Structure 1
Amino acid sequence: MSSIAEAQNLTDRIAELLREKLILGEWAPGQRLSEAALCESLDVSRSTLREAFRMLTKEGLLSHEPNKGVSVVVPSIASIIDIYRVRRMIECQALAQGYPMHPALERMRAAVAHALACRDREDWLGVGTANIAFHKAVVELADSERLNVMFSHLLAELRVAFGLMQDPHFLHAPYVEMNQQILALFEAGKPDQASRALNDYLVHSERLILAAYARRLAEKGIKG
């Protein structure tokens, strides 16, 4: 492998690690990222880290301002509406046409079980992470690596938006049982009903998030 290819592979891996941190909710919207700290923790050069930053900036996850550095974006209301539009198109179709014995089913079950365990110990950020895992598994039913990659980017954007609300209990608690119900319908051989339930879920989630998000933006004086 050439040195150029090796450098690109390293950049891709670093970008994926940064993206995963966003999906896990480790960074808040508007938070400035320290190049020095990340270079040390990831054991990479500044040039590699900056290239990874550029990749995530193109994806709409980070923003760069001259003399201010790189920070996590504050998503707009319009972008959240668009994310949910795409989610309904991808997830509901994947569930409706999903093969009942698909390996992703086991990951859906594991995500629901993890969410229940986190709820019992009131780990609401953990519930949110389990919820992300459930929906990633739903998309995996479509057997499309392109969709998996695109959906991962969408979830990173959405998790960033969640961070501004600062109330993970309010945000995630209602959906533990909803995911259980969707899983039960799919396991019972009722993919169409599961898909409709998921669509209702996403509509409810979008309305809840937009209302709370708009309030939060107003409190912070941020224009959506």
Structure 2
Amino acid sequence: MTADTSLASLALSELARDRALLGRTSTAERVAGILRERIAGGSFRPGVRLSEERICGALGVSRNTLREAFRLLTHERLLVHRLNRGTFVRVLTPADIMDIYRVRRLVECAALRELGDPPFRLDDVEGAVAAGEQAAAEGRWADCSTANIRFHQAVAGLAGSRRTDDLMRGVLAELRLAFHIMDDPRRFHEPYLARNRQIVRTLEAGDAESAERQLGFYLEDSRRQLIEAYPESTPD
């Protein structure tokens, strides 16, 4: 049994437990939400084929419901359908990563630029930083990655726009696909913990302009690090 096969079997067991989350009002959106979380968490890694039969059995949903969930996630660029082969977790290209970071700079930096007068409401941002620090202290690097995503979602959330929140949720979910290529998640995520904390301190001091500048350098360093680690060629 290969490592990917073993991981997929474990993911199906986890999906069976997720079945309780669907309740009586099972919908394609809820199925998509469960799969989105499992993909983001690495249960289904980029390039893996998703078995309709096994996922339907694990979640107790119809093929029509699952296929609609697949369509939603394909629209979000998390899955890709290949004719006569099935549905796969998408593999990002370096061009995808460049574009994701372009959007992140446009949204996250603008959220800080438009904050207005201090004090700023930083509860969600602070909570995400604290969660990341706690996860790192306990060696839970996958949870540290999740907390880091929450931090950036919270930064974008300072814009106070539901549309921006929805946009960033999709962008950051797609970005998680790229994180799976990092062989050493601690080496990748740990340096950014201190930078997250520094941005919070700068915002607490009321200096949104400096915080925006710090975030811009941060995003550029992260983008460069991912691009340098990314394979030169990726599957179609």
TM-score by length of 2: 0.83
Give the count of matched residue pairs: 211
Measured in 2, the distance between the counterparts of 1:178 and 1:200 equals 10
Instruction: Tell me the CA shift for residue 166 of structure 1.
Output: 3.0
CA distance, structure 1, for counterparts of residue 45 and residue 143 of structure 2: 16
Q: Residues 54-102 of structure 1: CA distance to partner in whole angstroms, max 9, x if unpaired?
A: 1211222101123321111110110100000110010011122236555
CA distance 1:20–1:101, change in 2 (3 Å): farther
User: How far apart are the structure 1 equivalents of 2:58 and 2:115?
Assistant: 40
* Contact 1:28–1:164, Cα closer than 8 Å, also in 2: no
Q: Distance in 1 between matches of 2:234 and 2:168?
A: 27
Match of 2:197 in 1: 180
Does 2:159 align with 1:147?
A: no
Q: Which stretches in structure 2 are left out of the alignment for 5+ residues?
A: 1-24
Question: Which letter does structure 2 place at the counterpart of 1:89?
Answer: L
**1:95 matched residue in structure 2:** 112
Tell me the TM-score normalised to structure 1 length: 0.87
Taking a change above 3 Å as real, the CA distance of residues 77 and 43 of structure 1, as seen in their structure-2 partners, is same
Secondary structure of 1:164's match?
coil
Q: What is the match of residue 3 of structure 1?
A: none
Counterparts of 2:135 and 2:55, CA distance in 1 = 29
Amino acid of the residue matched to residue 222 of structure 1?
T
**Contact map agreement 2:144 2:189 (CA 8 A) in 1:** yes
Using the TM superposition, give the Cα deviation of residue 222 of structure 1 relative to its aligned residue in structure 2, in angstroms: 2.9
1:197 shift after superposition: 0.3
SS at match of 2:91: coil
Unaligned runs of 5+ residues in structure 1 are: 1-7
Q: Which letter does structure 2 place at the counterpart of 1:72? A: V
> Could you tell me how far 1:144 is from its partner in structure 2?
1.1
Stretch of structure 1 that moved more, 174-183 or 43-52: 43-52
Q: 1:159 is aligned with what amino acid?
A: R
Tell me: higher relative CO, structure 1 or 2? Use CA pairs within 8 A at least 6 residues apart: 1
**Which deviations, in whole Å up to 9, do the C-alpha atoms of 1:145-195 show, x marking residues without a partner?**
111111111111110011123321122111000000001101110111111
Q: CA RMSD in A?
A: 2.0
